[in-house]
Structure 1
Amino acid sequence: MAQDTVLIVDSMNYIKGFRYQMYCAAREHKLRVCTIFVVATQDQCKEWNAGRDEECAYAPETLENLLMRYEEPSSMVRWDSPLFTVPWTDNDVPIDDIWKAITEGNVKPPNVGTQAVPKAPTDALRTLEHVSTSMVAAIMSEQAAAGGFGGLVTLPLSATLKPRVSLPSRNITLSELQRLKRQFVTVHKKAITLGTTEKGAVDWGEESVADKFAVYIEGNLKP
């Protein structure tokens, strides 16, 4: 699949679930799509099958099963549209309309259900837990040293990681911070394990996690 390629899937595509899967793939790649339904009667299909070499023909019971399970495309559903229905005996194929559909038709953008979901790095959970735990310990240490005056404090987690957070002018209890830490980890754990649909790259590095947790603390600590 590519935006500079016309891809023709010449297949039975006989169940709507498979056609829907191709439709989703096309949306993910921001491609136009159309369905061409070549109509032949069941008797004609059986006649063609009977005329095949034995090694290429369907067994009669298999062909009957395929005919029974076949789900015709419909212009009423988005994954079959635009739909061009062409009888097998019709020589008047709407080539111009088909070409226009695949070269000028609307391109439907990816949605939450079709867009690729970026996965977090394998150490993201460890980083989330480690950074938030270290920040809780650092806040308690800074508060003890400053006497609980609050304000903007710098948390020296490492030589390169020194997030800043504004604290209220009161003594913050360890249970408060641990509760916020558990909530913060829970909120972000799902995005790490299942992926996130946020636009752009999502940074799960130590600095980014520390900044997120600092904002979370500032927004959820009572004055």
Structure 2
Amino acid sequence: MPLVVVTGVPSSGKTTRSLELLKFFEQQGKEVHIISELDHILKAGFEKNSFYDDKDKEKHIRGVLKSEVLKLVSSNNVVILDALNYIKGYRYELFCGTKANKCTQCTLHTEINRDEAWKFNENRENEAEKYNRETFDALVMRYEDPNGNNRWDAPLFTIFPHQVLDLDGMYTNLFKKKAPKPNLSTQNPPLKSTNFLYDLDQITKKIVDDLIKNKKSGVNGLVSLSGFDDLNIDITDISIQQLMNCRRQYITYSKTHAPDPDKIPMLFVQYLTTSLK
């Protein structure tokens, strides 16, 4: 399904525009799915304002939303993601997901004067949907505006409250233009087992924890890794922070270049040796 990423500061009309799109695309005979950030926040039992003050809760919900999007996207019909989507890196992740699934995508930016947005927020009838002033201001400060020159934000449709949506333009871009061809960076990794990511995390963690333990004990030079025969690494000039950074980088790389699970220990040690020279 083509994806419409709705983005904007708090109380800028995202849900109103999402419902407008729902009505329009259903009139075109399309099946439409709205994925609502607020619905998932409340479903998880979070209070709206405290939720945005907790980066772990935010990260969890963003993961849930992305998972829902990727389960629904295909070459037909429409998925509308009604959320703040204020992080440009997250919008890029969504773009990669739709590209990998050979689907079209566009961005709808609900723009608004910030004082007007606050008035809209104050006039909400449902107290559970209101932002307090501190959270509202913080989210406005964090917001990373979409840019139509970025391929992950394009085509970009910006709309103010008093304006009329370019519904025909959105329809044309979603259904009458070819989806971008997937490339290596957006292809799903060829995971060789359903436990691949768990195994990757646990093995690399075990190796790094062992190396950190040696560093904290004052060990230098070549050390052997417990539990992994014939694997060793020189930790003389390696810092604990470097080890942790390399582990994160290797996990990110392996998600798109999945190795044979049996070779993870050897390949990770090779990666450390090369990266930490």
Q: TM-score range by the shorter chain?
A: 0.5 to 0.7
Please, which of 135, 160, 171 is the counterpart of residue 62 of structure 1? 135
Kept in 2: contact 1:35–1:81 (CA 8 A) = yes
Uncovered stretches (5+) of structure 1, i.e. residues with no partner: 123-189, 205-223
CA separation of 1:8/1:36 partners in 2, compared to 1, >3 Å: closer, same or farther? same
Where does structure 1 differ by over 3 angstroms across 4 or more consecutive aligned residues?
193-198
Bigger helix fraction: 2
Q: Aligned AA for 1:9?
A: L
Aligned to 2:183: 111
Give, in whole Å, the separation in 2 of the partners of 1:195 and 1:24.
13
Aligned to 1:169: none
Secondary structure of 2:185's counterpart equals coil
Aligned to 1:220: none
User: Residues 109-157 of structure 1, C-alpha deviation per residue, up to 9 Å, x if partnerless?
Assistant: 22222101112359xxxxxxxxxxxxxxxxxxxxxxxxxxxxxxxxxxx
| Pairwise CA distance, 1:106 | 2.9
Please, which of 88, 104, 108 is the counterpart of residue 32 of structure 1? 104
Give, in whole Å, the separation in 2 of the partners of 1:121 and 1:55.
42
Kept in 1: contact 2:111–2:159 (CA 8 A) = yes
TM-score of the pair, normalised by structure 2: 0.43
Kept in 2: contact 1:119–1:196 (CA 8 A) = no
Count residues in correspondence.
132
Q: Aligned AA for 1:38?
A: T
Equivalent positions of 1:205-216 (< 5 A) are none
Give, in whole Å, the separation in 2 of the partners of 1:70 and 1:97.
26
Equivalent positions of 1:1-223 (< 5 A) are 1-52=73-124, 53-91=126-164, 93-120=165-192, 194=254
| Pairwise CA distance, 1:203 | 11
| Pairwise CA distance, 1:194 | 3.8
| Pairwise CA distance, 1:54 | 3.3
Computing the radius of gyration over CA atoms, which structure comes out larger, 1 or 2?
A: 1
Uncovered stretches (5+) of structure 2, i.e. residues with no partner: 1-72, 195-249, 262-277
